[in-house]
Structure 1
Amino acid sequence: MNYQAAQTRYDDMLYRRCGKSGIKLPALSLGLWHNFGSVDVFENGRKILRYAFDHGITHFDLANNYGPVPGSAEENFGRILASDFKPYRDEMIISTKAGYLMWPGPYGEWGSRKYLLASLDQSLKRMGLDYVDIFYSHRPDPDTPLEETMGALAHAVKQGKALYAGISNYNAEMTQKAETILRNMGVPLLIHQPRYSMLDRWVEDDGLLEVLGRRGVGSIVFSPLAQGLLTNKYLKDIPENSRMAKPHGFLKREALTPEVHKKLIKLNDLAAERNQSLAQMAIAWLLKDKRVTSVLIGASRVDQLQNNLEALNNITFSEEELHKIEEILK
């Protein structure tokens, strides 16, 4: 039976304007960093994507290296686009990025014009698209002039292979420079994708949020649950099948210090007072700031996605709650 999107898909989702642009993004966007690659169960990823779109998630975030293997998340997403979502393409924001290693030799990573534009062409081919809505420089390149990297993004937009330009993992100073360069080229910087969570607040310390607000640039924050720390998974111990238990994962055992563990327990207690899970409160806490356009979530199961969506039922905080959170996180 062919997929038909739910008629109620826009009833409950909150959409927020991305900076000073004409684009609105869903408060929650779905990232395909994990769980959608060639090593994963294809039908499970398909169910997650269908559920997301049926519940108002219109933004799907990819990158050239997402998988594993690198490129396979885009390939699988392209298959699902062709089979399920083709009639709904104009209702979607689809983004991809380039910056990390994709092929051997000196032109297979970082921020050169050659690499970025070649990577975009490969991404479009893998997904079966004529254009993406947002094309990002995935990380700053210390050895390539910023003018060259931003020039490649502007060229992609002027070619029509991307509708908007974005950057990810740039600090406040480089973001200001990048925004100025793009603006002078006639291509506004739509969005920045930084890492941000209750346990990782570098965007506040660095002044990045202030820069984005002042320049009219939107933001979509990744790792909102600190790789899973801000869930109920690690409140008692480290489960055998958890991300932290894997020897080569991004979340290391040393991240769960006694001090962090105490914070998690106190935050979980406060979340319970709000009738939320810890994960739901962590997502809601990010959305309290209007400079955060969208929170980028991942999911390995439909019920995880469902749980995260329920965070939108309560994204307001009293002054007392915010004070308690600051006291816990100090």
Structure 2
Amino acid sequence: MSHQPSPTRYANPALYRRTGRSGLKLSRLSLGLWHNFGDTDLYDNSRALVLRAFDLGITHFDLANNYGPPPGSAERNFGRMLREDLAAHRDELIISTKAGYLMWDGPCGEWGSRKHILASLDQSLKRLGLDYVDIFYHHRPDPDTPLEESMGALALAVRSGKALYVALSNYNPEQTARAAAILRDLGTPCLLHQPKYHMYERTPERGLFDVLLKEGIGAIPFCPLAQGLLTNRYLNGIPEDSRAVRDPRFLKPEHITEAKLTQLRQLNTLAQSRGQSLAQLALLWVLRQPAVTTALIGASKVAQIEDNLAALNSPDLTPAESAQIDKILG
């Protein structure tokens, strides 16, 4: 039986923001399926996360060919949700996927050749059970392929009807400016750029956001909560069941120093003074950037999605509060 979504899911028009200079509006928080949606995770929990997010007004669901584990399984599982629960609501959804990381053996299994990008998109569409995706990304720049070839493949994906918009991820400011110019000349403007951005990773402030504002490209930061560091999980140390212990590939225990824990507690005190959780404060901090359209949240529990979205009910950070955060972070 198909899911019957909440009739009030669009009750708050302030939840949506126009993307760059395009006509597309995205929910200010989007759900990323990088973790917790693969075959190693409980499908019923993954399904509950997606359906609850949709019920709360989140319309954008972000995937990539390699999300899992194993690679491809997040797309396959999301495709099942589309087929069994959300088929009647396809046109309400903004679904993205990416190509660029290793997916199959041989020299065409990764990076940025036309062969890899278009073959990967075809594979993604099969796993998702879709004729097209709304947004198709090149996941990372290829140092050995001309940028014109990679961007030409993205433009061809749109001309062939397999994607509506194209986007970039992990490109530096100079690469982004060049790619945007090429895509514009091809008649397929770049819609979004997906960088890593949070309180402890501020590299996009050094040029990238300026390029995005100039080019009319929206930013959609990933890891806005620093893989869970900017939540209440680590205020009293490193829990045994935390991601830093279970899967230290992205958040290593040795990086969670006493000095950093002191900063987290000070940030949490500021959040509490605003009637917020630390995660809510961290999300508003990311969304304060004029270039940012939406922030990609991850979740393993429905309550995390609900808490994250509640951040949008709070007033924006004041200049004094932003300055206080900068002082805490040193």
1:214 CA drift (Å): 0.7
SS of 1:167's partner is strand
* CA distance in structure 2 between the aligned counterparts of 1:36 and 1:310, rounded to whole angstroms: 23
Letter in 2 for 1:175: T
Residue 263 of structure 1: aligned partner: 263
* Paired AA for residue 285 in structure 2: W
CA displacement 1:166-208 (0-9 Å, x = unmatched):
0000000000000000011111001100000011100002x10
Q: Give the alignment of 1:298-309 within 5 angstroms.
A: 298-309=298-309
Amino acid in structure 2 at the alignment position of 1:50: L
* RMSD (Å), alpha carbons: 1.0
Q: Distance in 2 between matches of 1:135 and 1:99?
A: 11
1:236 partner amino acid: N
> Given that residues 64 and 70 in structure 1 are in contact (C-alpha distance below 8 angstroms), is that contact kept between their aligned partners in structure 2?
yes
CA distance in 1, matches of 2:226, 2:247: 17
Deviations 1:100-158 (A, max 9, x none): 11011111001110000000000000000000000000001111111110010000011
Question: Against the structure 1 CA distance between its residues 286 and 110, is the aligned structure 2 distance closer, same or farther, given a 3 Å change threshold?
Answer: same
For 2:141 and 2:210, locate their aligned partners in 1 and report how far apart those are by CA, in whole Å. 19
Q: 1:248 to 1:268 in 2, by over 3 A?
A: closer
| Percent of residue pairs identical | 61
Equivalent residue number for residue 76 of structure 2: 75
SS in 1 for 2:61: strand
Alignment of 1:273-312 (within 5 A): 273-312=273-312
Partner residue, 1:136:
137
Instruction: Give the stretch that moved more between structures: 254-263 or 22-31.
Output: 254-263
SS at match of 2:137: strand
Distance, in Å, in 2 between the alignment partners of 1:92 and 1:270 is 35
The one-letter amino acid of 2:139's match is: H
1:96 match: 97
Q: Within 5 Å, give how 1:162-173 maps onto structure 2.
A: 162-173=163-174
How does 1:8-157 map onto structure 2 within 5 Å?
Answer: 8-12=8-12, 14-157=15-158
Write the letter of the residue equivalent to 1:302: V
Distance apart, 1:52 and its partner CA:
0.4
SS of 1:309 mapped into structure 2: helix
**What's the TM-score, normalizing by structure 2?**
0.98
Letter in 2 for 1:176: A
- 1:258 CA drift (Å): 2.5
Q: Alignment length, in residue pairs?
A: 329
Give deviations 1:238-281, integer Å, cap 9, x for gaps: 11110111264321012212222221111111001011010010
Is contact 2:114–2:150 with CA below 8 Å preserved after alignment? Answer: yes
In structure 2, what is the equivalent of residue 211 of structure 1?
211
**Equivalent position SS for 2:80:** helix
Question: What is the alpha-carbon distance in structure 2 between the residues aligned to residue 246 and residue 127 of structure 1?
Answer: 29
Which residues of structure 2 form unaligned runs of 5+? none
- Give the distance between the partners of 2:26 and 2:52, measured in 1 at CA: 17
Is residue 285–residue 315 contact of structure 1 (8 Å, CA) maintained in 2?
no
Moved more, 144-153 or 256-265: 256-265
Note the C-alpha offset of 1:26: 0.3
CA contact (8 A) 2:237 2:261 kept: no
Assess if the C-alpha contact under 8 Å between 1:135 and 1:162 holds in 2: yes
**3-state SS of paired residue (1:221):** coil
Residue segments in structure 1 that go unaligned for 5+ positions in a row: none
Residue number in structure 2 paired with 1:6: 6
Residue 315 of structure 1: CA displacement? Answer: 4.4
Determine the structure 1 residue equivalent to 2:181: 180
Counterpart contact for 2:177–2:211, Cα < 8 Å: yes
Contact 1:267-1:325 at 8 Å conserved across structures:
yes
- Measure, in 1, the Cα distance between the counterparts of 2:249 and 2:190: 32
CA distance in 1, matches of 2:324, 2:250: 29
Q: d(CA) in 1 for partners of 2:245 and 2:315?
A: 31
Partner of 2:316: 316
Structure 1 residues 179-198: aligned runs within 5 Å: 179-198=180-199
